Amino acid sequence: MRIEFGVTSHTPGSALVVFAAKDAVLSGAAQALDAALGGAVVNAVKTARFEGDAAQIVELLAPAGTDASRVLVVGTGKPGLADAAMFERIGGGIAARLLASGETKVTVDFGGVSDLAVDTPKAAAHLALGASLRAWRFDKYRTKLPEKQKPTLTEIAIANAGSAGQEWARLEPLVEAVGFTRSLVTEPANVIYPESFVERCRSLADLGVKIEVLDEKEMAQAGMGALLGVAQGSARPPRLLMMEWDGTNGKAKTSTVFVGKGVTFDTGGISIKPAAGMEDMKWDMGGAGAVAGAMKALALRRAKARVVGICGLVENMPDGNAQRPGDVVTTMSGQTVEVINTDAEGRLVLCDAITWVQKRFNPEVIVDLATLTGAIIISLGHEYAGLFSNSDELAKQLVTAGIATGDKLWRFPLGSAYDKMIDSPIADMKNVGPRDGGSITAAQFIGRFVNDGVKWAHLDIAGMAWSAKAGATWEKGATGYGVRLLDRFVEDTLEA
């Protein structure tokens, strides 16, 4: 999607957007248009019972008296409440309405818009962000898509928005980074597997990201028995991917680390999942996808921070060599794990990845992201990701970043009572506890591998990485959850 700022009028024959606040109070541009159309705008909003609610849309097709192909009147809601997030919703709504409409260009006129919660340039830039994110599509394998379903909208011109172009310069890298994550998550498992995931990420080296990859032999030498145990049933060999961005020119001596679960397909292993819906398990690498996308965002905008991204990449399959329930594995940390359920594999991948990155980089902060448990979806649905942390300060920072970006988080407890639920009679721990508190005991498991003094947060994003229906800024499918969250966290904590 091409975004253009600084235009003064719309292109003849293209679509035009104007605004109205609550109670259908027209903006200056909307009033001028209504006068030119002989009151047609006012008549349309009355007929449609349009009240100017946020992101509400009324459409006039080929109205006489203007050279616009169609006019959209879009609501901004109650005065003083339309913030950046609301304008992302508005942008997403415009894109969804026009994307396959036959229109190729739309002009959004901010003339006379007032009483917003943010200034006009910021509102316009976030509208462009929401529209760009919502316009993302994955039609790569659709060879017989009907013409009427193909995207046509390629350009959004924004008029009368002041210095919005400067605001957009900060946001534009997020569009590419989120798209990168969505593509990784959406690709089928015969296309994205541990080795090909790594190859997709090698392009980040062109942006200045240092890439390092551990193969199966190197991980065995390091003692990663938990991660390798998950992978041993697959013909696809595992990989550990390290991506390092240093925008401080070597000044930062410690690293903030992001760790992503990258199970490129999860059958459940010997504890096999039901057949219905198993095709969705191609997105069980959503945590790794988010980490890769966040690293791309940081590199694209030349973030003045030092950040390391780690992706533990495996495929969990049930062949004759697969890990069995009851097996005991030795992790890189030396702790032993009794594998009760081979479908609780993500924590086995994360624990070795976390141990490796602590030995290699001695970080102060670790944030891991994983599509880890179905229990978190039972708790939170698809509105929030679960947050678990040993640091109130870190948890607050992440929640704040989540509110700012729309990647929302809800904090859950940790504690010794939950920790006892994963004690094993024959090893140091079990990889699952009882059904009660399943997301919490999973976090407790990971926490056993975090070194003393390290601030750590675990984000269970199982309900957020993929959506069965379209949202305000995404089509149904991969959402790209976590990219904006991590990017904003870096901006707020390391670049402030």
Assess contact for 492 and 400: CB atoms under 8 A: yes
CATH number at residue 65: 3.40.220.10
**Would residue 273 show up in a list of annotated catalytic residues for this protein?**
yes
Determine the structural domain holding residue 263 and report its residue range: 174-493
Final residue of a structural domain among 130, 162, 194: 162
Q: Which two tokens stand for residue 322?
A: 């697969």
**pLDDT score of 10:** 86
**pLDDT score of 341:** 98
**pLDDT score of 172:** 98
Does residue 169 lie within any of the structural domains? no
**pLDDT score of 80:** 95
Same domain, 117 and 138: yes
User: How many Cβ atoms from other residues are within 10 Å of residue 39's Cβ?
Assistant: 11
Catalytically annotated residue among 22, 347, 430, 455: 347
Catalytically annotated residue among 78, 200, 273, 448: 273
Q: Count of domains in the chain?
A: 2
- The 3-state DSSP class for residue 472 equals coil
CATH number at residue 238: 3.40.630.10
Q: What residues contact 431, with CB distance under 8 A and at least 6 apart? A: 337, 338, 339, 340, 341, 344, 347, 348, 422, 445
- The 3-state DSSP class for residue 256 equals strand
Same domain, 195 and 277: yes
Residue 201 CA to residue 213 CA, distance in Å, equals 11
Final residue of a structural domain among 132, 162, 192: 162
pLDDT digits (tens, 9 = 90+) for 107-157: 999 999 999 999 999 999 999 999 999 999 999 999 999 999 999 999 999
**pLDDT score of 208:** 98
Does residue 168 lie within any of the structural domains? no
pLDDT digits (tens, 9 = 90+) for 11-33: 899 999 999 999 999 999 999 99
**pLDDT score of 255:** 85
Same domain, 142 and 200: no
Taking the CA of residue 130 as centre, how many other CA atoms within 13 Å lie in the half-sphere pointing to its CB? 27
Residue 200 CA to residue 40 CA, distance in Å, equals 51
Q: What residues contact 146, with CB distance under 8 A and at least 6 apart? A: none
Same domain, 238 and 368: yes
Distances (CA, A) of 116 to 33, 66, 97, 166: 21, 28, 23, 19
Residue 458 CA to residue 454 CA, distance in Å, equals 13
Can you list the residues of the chain whose pLDDT is less than 70?
Answer: none
**Would residue 448 show up in a list of annotated catalytic residues for this protein?**
no
